[in-house]
Structure 1
Amino acid sequence: MRITVFHNSNAKSVHVAANLAAKLRQQGFSVVKDNPDIVITVGGDGTLLSAFHEYAHMLDKVRFVGVHTGHLGFYTDWRDYELDELVESLRHDDNQKISYPLLDVGVRYADDNSTVHYLALNEATLKRFPATMVTDVYISDELFESFRGDGLCVSTPTGSTAYNKSVGGAVLNPQLEAIQLAEIASINNRVFRTLGSAIVISKDEWIDVYPEPRAMDYEMTVDRFAPKQRPIKAIRYRIAKERISFARYRHMHFWNRVEDAFIGEKQH
C-alpha cells in the first residue's frame, strides 16, 4: 500500500508526521508523495482541505484519513497519540470506506466566455467588496430571487458546519446528497426582498447566479482558496460527479461530532 503523510507547518504536526512516517515504513508501507492509495493528513480540518485539493485529480483512487493535533475536527478521526492503533488498522485494511458528496462550481467568465470547473469539499462563496452585491439567483433554470447583500455561500453537507453555519445555514447530515444556499447579510426592505433563510437543493437540481454585468469586483472562493479574480458572467452550483472517500476504520457518529464541537459537555 502506498501512503502519503500530508501535514501542516505547525511544529507539533511536523513531529507527529515524521513519527507516523517512520512507523509506517517499519511495517512495510511505502511512504510516497505521488499516486498514493491513502492520504493521511496530520493537523486539522484545514490540513485535510489542503490535501483534498492537492489530490482532487485522483479522487476515484485515493482515500483520506485525518489525524488531528489540536481540537477534534469533522474530518479527523484519530488523535496524535493513537499512531500505533492507526498503523495497526492500516495493516488490516480491506478497502473499507465512506464517501460524501462534493460541490461542482462551474464558472463562466465574461472576458473569454470560457467555463472553468472547481471542486469544493466545504463551500464556495461569492462576495463583492466594498459595494453591495447584486445578482439574480435561478434554481433549475427558474428565477428564484434577485439578491442584494454582502454575498452568497453554497455548501456541501460536510461543509454545513463551517462557514455556512456562521451565516445562519442549517447543519446537514453528510449522508444527504444535497447542497445548501445561504445568504450573507441580505438587504430586505420595501424595495428589495429575498427569502432571507437558507435553502437546501436536491441532487437533481442546480443553482445559477448571474452577477450584475457592469461590476467587475466580485470575489469568489472555493473552500479556503480564491481563484484569480476575473469578470464573472455566471456560476452554476451542483452536486459533483466526484465524491471524497475516507478510510473509516472507526466512525464517530455525525451528531456526536456536532455536539462535541458546538455544545460541549452536557448539563444534567
Structure 2
Amino acid sequence: MKFAIISRGDELSNRLKEELASQLIQSQCVEDQRNPTLVISVGGDGTMLEAFHRYVHHLSRVAFVGVHTGRLGFYADWRPEELKELVGFITRVSIDGEANMKLVAYPLLEVLVVHEEGHHSRHLALNECTLKTTEGSLVMNLEVNEDHFETFRGDGLCISTPSGSTAYNKSLGGAIVHPSLASIQITEMASINNRVYRTIGSPLILPAHHTCVLRPQNDVAYHVTIDHLTLIEKNVEHIRLKVAKERIRFARFRPFPFWKRVRESFID
C-alpha cells in the first residue's frame, strides 16, 4: 500500500501525521507523496478539501480517508485515539490486496468557465462553486438544459454537490442531499425579488443528466470559488455546471452512515 498524509498544520495534526507515517512504514506500507493509493487527511473538512485538490488529477486510482483533530466533520471517520485501529485496517488491506478495500464514491461538480476569447478552464469541486461579482449585484441568465429559466439578480449563487450540501449551501437555506444521489444544487444568495425582478426563490436540484448554464448580463469581473480556492474571472461568456464524470472515492473500513453524521453535526 502506497500512502500520503496531509496535515492541517497545527501541533496535534502534525504529531498524528508523524505517528501514522511511522506506524504504516513499520507495517510495510510505503510513503509516496507523488503516486499514493491512499491519501490520509489529518485535520478537518478543510484539510480533506486540500487533499482532494492536490490529487484531483489522480482520482481514478486514489482513495481518501480522514482523521479529524477537531470537531467531527463530514469527511473524517477516525478520531486521534483510534489511530492504531486505523493502521490495522490499512495494513490488512495492504496484505490481502488493495482490490479488497471497501470504497464509497461521491459525486463531484464540474465547472467549465468559457471566456469571450474562446478559451476555457475546467474545474472540479468537492463541496461547491460560488459566484459573485467584484462590484455590484450578480446578474445572470440561468439556463437549464439550454432553456432559459430565469434572470437572477442578487448577491450571488452557490452550486453544491450532495456532500457539500451540508456546508455553505445549508447556511443559505439549501436542502441536505444524500451523497448517493448524483445531482447538483443551485441556491440563491439574497436574490432581488420585486415587481420588476423575479426569481424562483427556492433551491433547484438537478439530476446528473441535466446541465446548468449561467450567462453574465453585465460586464464585470467575477469571484468564482471552487471549494476553498478563489478565482477572478474576466470576459466570461458563460459558465457551465453539471455533475462531473469523475467521482471521489473514500476508503471505508467501518460503517458511518451519512444521516448519523448529519445528526451529530447539527442536532446532538
Which TM-score applies when normalising by structure 2? Answer: 0.96
Measure the CA separation in 2 of the matches of 1:81 and 1:201: 40
* Structure 1 match to 2:129: 124
* Structure 2 match to 1:95: 101
* 1:124-203 matches, cutoff 5 A: 124-203=129-208
Report deviation, 1:233.
1.3
Contact 1:77/1:251 (8 A) holds in 2 = no
Report deviation, 1:3.
0.4
Report deviation, 1:228.
4.2
Q: Which amino acid aligns with 1:10?
A: D
Q: Is 1:114 equivalent to 2:103 in the alignment?
A: no
* Structure 2 match to 1:217: 221
Measure the CA separation in 2 of the matches of 1:203 and 1:174: 12
Report deviation, 1:115.
1.6
* Structure 1 match to 2:34: 34
Unaligned runs of 5+ in 1: none
Structure 2 counterpart SS, 1:82: helix
Q: Is 1:235 equivalent to 2:239 in the alignment?
A: yes
Contact 1:218/1:231 (8 A) holds in 2 = no
Q: Is 1:260 equivalent to 2:264 in the alignment?
A: yes
Measure the CA separation in 2 of the matches of 1:233 and 1:150: 20
Identity between Structure 1 and Structure 2 (%): 45
* Structure 2 match to 1:53: 53
Measure the CA separation in 2 of the matches of 1:211 and 1:169: 23
Q: Which amino acid aligns with 1:107?
A: V
Measure the CA separation in 2 of the matches of 1:9 and 1:64: 18
Structure 2 counterpart SS, 1:226: strand
Measure the CA separation in 1 of the matches of 2:121 and 2:134: 23
Report deviation, 1:241.
0.7
The structure that is helix-richer by fraction is 2
Unaligned runs of 5+ in 2: 94-99
Measure the CA separation in 2 of the matches of 1:144 and 1:16: 50
Contact 1:126/1:220 (8 A) holds in 2 = yes
Structure 1 counterpart SS, 2:49: helix
Measure the CA separation in 2 of the matches of 1:109 and 1:160: 28
Which TM-score applies when normalising by structure 1? Answer: 0.96
Structure 1 counterpart SS, 2:233: coil
Q: Which amino acid aligns with 1:260?
A: E
Q: Which amino acid aligns with 1:57?
A: H
Measure the CA separation in 2 of the matches of 1:195 and 1:127: 18
Moved more, 13-22 or 222-231: 222-231
Measure the CA separation in 1 of the matches of 2:255 and 2:219: 46
